[in-house]
Chains A and B, each alone.
Chain A
Amino acid sequence: MNNRVWSFLVPFFSVIIALLIAAVVIILIGQNPVIAYKAMIEGAFGNIQALADTVIKTTPLILTGLAVGFGFRAGLFNIGAEGQMIMGGILATVVGMHMRGIPPALAIPLTMIAGMLGGAAWASIAGYLKAKTGAHEVVSTIMLNWIATYISSYLITGPLAVGSGTPKSPEIAPSAKLPPIVTVGALEMTSGILISILSAVVIYIVLEKTKTGYEVKAVGFNPYAAEYGGINISKNIVMCMAISGALAGLAGALEVMGLHHRFLGTLSGGKGFDGISIALIGQNHPIGIIFASFLIAALRTGSSNMQFVGVPKHIVTIIQGIVIFLVAADRIVKTLLRFRKVKR
């Protein structure tokens, strides 16, 4: 079988195996996996409201998935989408708050760009350190995640705080809010999903059709050969991290502009880490990432519904972990699939 078939089959079967293992875990705590999964599917697609919720959750995941996937293509392991998303959300909020009286045609792009710059700047720190001192991006992006988390909790309990109760920032100006496509009950399905999908298409074009994309892939494939071929590695690392961070930052900006309309302490809630699962399930392909995001979003929305039948929602994190594990060691899945045809 050729690579293209494998790159679909491995993640597909990884998800199936993970769901089976999770079913065993559900049995072990004395619940019925059939009832649990039925509740999950109903919670994700059962009615128009559930579906809208799934689409809302898909929006940022496409972007964090793209952020991680783009990094992977350049051989960079960006675990920092979490922090970049927070920084993007903060900067978009600060700019969005000051857009009063400015027409949406200007306010929306400005706020969005602010978010992208926030994420890009945050990721560039790790890119710069990697290029200049060799500091591994895994360690530095993780540190930057924690730093971003504490900075954001300082901002929304201190300088940016408004009201009482849950810490939150003031609302952004109405002109900086993204208009909803449809409103289902209390849920507004934002036009952010269109921006996310458009971003995936743009990244696809950049990777497949431009010189930049060629250089990114060359560096990711074999940095030594790329350098020999005249590609500036340091410059490429910083640029790739910046693009990767800009995508995560945009995810943060869209959460603020389309969903919460303000910065909340729990803005990211693990979506940056979800980006890793999504990039791997989507095999770092922008279009694959759209589908993978929808899958993870459906699992997340559905898992809240599973709580009503007595299965803690953390099961989704376990499922994601098993999927990643099987994709990492893809030979396990390949061996299982080949077992019927070729006897060892």
Chain B
Amino acid sequence: MKILEVLWNIFSNPLFYKLTLTASTPLLFASLGGVFSEVTGVVNIALEGIMLLGAFSSVVITYYTGNVWLGFLLSIPIGIGFSWFHAWASIKWRGNQIVSATALILVAQGLTGFLMEPIFGQPGQTPYVGRIEEITLPGISSIPFIGEAIGTISPIVLIAFAMVFFAWFLIYKTPLGLRMRSVGENPEAADTLGVDVFKIRYFGVLMSGALASMGGAFLSIGEVGNFRELMTGGRGFIALAAMILGNWNPIGAMWACLMFGMSEALANQLQSSPILNVPATAKPLFNLFPFVVTLVVVAGLIGRTRPPAADGVPYEKEE
């Protein structure tokens, strides 16, 4: 069986696990962003757009400052500012959250394409601006297999996984997290107990902007060092599916992101496998692999998950 041999080659190679982690990282940031927003009761399908803007702005900032870390860090307030529009429309003006988020996706697509020419003088793709270097973890890098897989890794990947535990701790172990969850489950009751529903929801949405933006920045200056038009390629929506699969819980979302990341890595490895020798024309078919996995999993498992009760419902304070 040729395919078994190919799969064995892929799964026994430590670099495959590194690829999986790298592919999971942008999803992980965006997915945690989705958790923050939806736990407080605001649906945010704009993750795709925020990621795109994060990917672009980090490249622009790096281009002007020459410092990739500055590019990464300063793209965070840009993501926050951009997601503020979604918060403003859906919390203050009680607008349709899905429609408002769709608008942000369009604005992000338009804006990143629009600014490319005035800033870089060329459409489609920016020049290489540099990328965040990988670091070698002392101790771990000398362990066989594991060392080869994660011994040398981008610090952003580590930040992403640290964020999972930060999010989990914040949402489930702190008074703020309790407030967030109560606002998402029953805003009326939370309001009666003196919780500022609007403020907590703004916090949730703005956090989602910060995180999704980091996810986008990893795609550009974390991995390839430049920005291509529409480079997020649907990852914001896969992250959304991961959040649903993970039952609106940071740890659950992490496992789902790892699964999607692995399917992306697997598709990449399969199409470049020398044994399988995939003809160039058939390669597009491998790209649809993660999307098929998402569709099947969302369809198969969603019955067992439950969103926060007030998710997507605008809150109207009684006069």
Which of A's residues lie within 8 Å of B, judged by CB? 25, 29-30, 77, 79, 129, 133-136, 138-140, 142-147, 150-151, 153-154, 157-158, 161, 273, 276-277, 280, 312, 314-325, 327-332
Q: How far is the CA of A182 from the CA of B8 in the complex (A)?
A: 61
Does B98 lie at the interface of the complex (its beta carbon under 8 Å from any beta carbon of A)? yes
Chain B interface mostly: helix
Pick out which of these stretches binds chain A: B87-95, B139-147, B153-161, B206-214.
Answer: B87-95
Does B99 lie at the interface of the complex (its beta carbon under 8 Å from any beta carbon of A)? yes
Residue from A153, A315, A324, A331 in contact with B93 in the complex, judged by beta carbons closer than 8 Å: A331
Q: How far is the CA of A276 from the CA of B98 in the complex (A)?
A: 11
Residue from B93, B108, B240, B292 in contact with A329 in the complex, judged by beta carbons closer than 8 Å: B93
Residue from A30, A133, A314, A320 in contact with B303 in the complex, judged by beta carbons closer than 8 Å: A133
Does B291 lie at the interface of the complex (its beta carbon under 8 Å from any beta carbon of A)? yes
Other contacts beyond A134-B303, A139-B240: 9, CB < 8 A: A133-B303, A139-B237, A143-B295, A150-B287, A153-B284, A158-B279, A314-B110, A314-B113, A317-B107
Interface set, chain B 74-109, CB cutoff 8 A to A: 85, 88-90, 93-100, 102-109
Q: How far is the CA of A79 from the CA of B236 in the complex (A)?
A: 14
A129 touches B299 (CB 8 A): yes
Q: How far is the CA of A315 from the CA of B279 in the complex (A)?
A: 39
A139 touches B106 (CB 8 A): no
- In the bound complex, residues from chain A placing their C-beta under 8 Å from that of B95 are 328-332
Does B285 lie at the interface of the complex (its beta carbon under 8 Å from any beta carbon of A)? yes
Q: How far is the CB of A6 from the nearest CB of chain B, in Å?
A: 15
User: Which 5 pairs from chain A and chain B are nearest by CB?
Assistant: A317-B110, A329-B95, A321-B106, A321-B107, A325-B103
Q: How far is the CA of A170 from the CA of B260 in the complex (A)?
A: 36
Residue from B89, B288, B299, B300 in contact with A328 in the complex, judged by beta carbons closer than 8 Å: B89
Q: How far is the CA of A332 from the CA of B285 in the complex (A)?
A: 45
- In the bound complex, residues from chain B placing their C-beta under 8 Å from that of A161 are 281
A140 touches B114 (CB 8 A): no
Interface set, chain B 228-286, CB cutoff 8 A to A: 233-234, 237, 240-241, 244, 279-282, 284-285
A154 touches B285 (CB 8 A): yes
Q: Can you list 15 A-B contacts with CB-CB less than 8 angstroms, sorted by A residue number? A: A29-B114, A129-B295, A133-B299, A135-B299, A143-B294, A146-B234, A157-B281, A318-B107, A323-B103, A324-B100, A324-B103, A324-B106, A325-B85, A328-B103, A329-B93
Q: How far is the CA of A28 from the CA of B25 in the complex (A)?
A: 34
- In the bound complex, residues from chain B placing their C-beta under 8 Å from that of A25 are 114
Chain A: CB-nearest residue to B295 = A143
Does B190 lie at the interface of the complex (its beta carbon under 8 Å from any beta carbon of A)? no
Among A79, A158, A276, A314, which residue has the most Cβ atoms of chain B within 10 A?
A: A314
B291 touches A146 (CB 8 A): yes
Number of interface residues of B (CB under 8 A): 53
Does B68 lie at the interface of the complex (its beta carbon under 8 Å from any beta carbon of A)? no
Residue from B104, B118, B237 in contact with A325 in the complex, judged by beta carbons closer than 8 Å: B104
Q: How far is the CB of B122 from the nearest CB of chain A, in Å?
A: 11
- In the bound complex, residues from chain B placing their C-beta under 8 Å from that of A158 are 279, 281-282
Residue from A280, A312, A324, A332 in contact with B116 in the complex, judged by beta carbons closer than 8 Å: A312
Known: A143-B291, A143-B294, A158-B282. Contact between A317 and B102, CB under 8 A?
no
Does B302 lie at the interface of the complex (its beta carbon under 8 Å from any beta carbon of A)? yes
- In the bound complex, residues from chain A placing their C-beta under 8 Å from that of B287 are 150
Q: How far is the CB of A142 from the nearest CB of chain B, in Å?
A: 4
- In the bound complex, residues from chain A placing their C-beta under 8 Å from that of B282 are 154, 158
- In the bound complex, residues from chain B placing their C-beta under 8 Å from that of A147 are 288, 291-292, 295
B106 touches A320 (CB 8 A): yes
Q: How far is the CA of A151 from the CA of B111 in the complex (A)?
A: 29
- In the bound complex, residues from chain A placing their C-beta under 8 Å from that of B106 are 273, 277, 317-318, 320-321, 324
A140 touches B284 (CB 8 A): no
Known: A147-B288, A318-B111. Contact between A328 and B244, CB under 8 A?
no
B99 touches A139 (CB 8 A): no
Residue from A30, A139, A154, A316 in contact with B110 in the complex, judged by beta carbons closer than 8 Å: A316
Does B196 lie at the interface of the complex (its beta carbon under 8 Å from any beta carbon of A)? no
B102 touches A79 (CB 8 A): yes
Chain B: CB-nearest residue to A128 = B299
Known: A135-B299, A140-B298, A331-B93. Contact between A325 and B281, CB under 8 A?
no
Does B134 lie at the interface of the complex (its beta carbon under 8 Å from any beta carbon of A)? no
- In the bound complex, residues from chain A placing their C-beta under 8 Å from that of B244 are 136, 139
Does B5 lie at the interface of the complex (its beta carbon under 8 Å from any beta carbon of A)? no
Chain B: CB-nearest residue to A333 = B93
Q: How far is the CA of A147 from the CA of B280 in the complex (A)?
A: 18
- In the bound complex, residues from chain B placing their C-beta under 8 Å from that of A328 are 89-90, 95-97, 99-100, 102-103
Q: How far is the CB of B127 from the nearest CB of chain A, in Å?
A: 17
Does B35 lie at the interface of the complex (its beta carbon under 8 Å from any beta carbon of A)? no
Q: How far is the CA of A312 from the CA of B229 in the complex (A)?
A: 13
Q: How far is the CA of A321 from the CA of B48 in the complex (A)?
A: 14
Chain B: CB-nearest residue to A315 = B114
Q: How far is the CB of A51 from the nearest CB of chain B, in Å?
A: 25
Q: How far is the CB of A310 from the nearest CB of chain B, in Å?
A: 9
Does B123 lie at the interface of the complex (its beta carbon under 8 Å from any beta carbon of A)? yes
A77 touches B98 (CB 8 A): yes
Chain A: CB-nearest residue to B85 = A325
Q: How far is the CA of A145 from the CA of B45 in the complex (A)?
A: 16
A329 touches B90 (CB 8 A): yes
Known: A140-B298, A332-B93. Contact between A29 and B118, CB under 8 A?
yes
Known: A146-B288, A150-B288. Contact between A315 and B110, CB under 8 A?
yes
Among A79, A273, A317, A328, which residue has the most Cβ atoms of chain B within 10 A?
A: A328
Q: How far is the CA of A143 from the CA of B89 in the complex (A)?
A: 26
A133 touches B300 (CB 8 A): yes
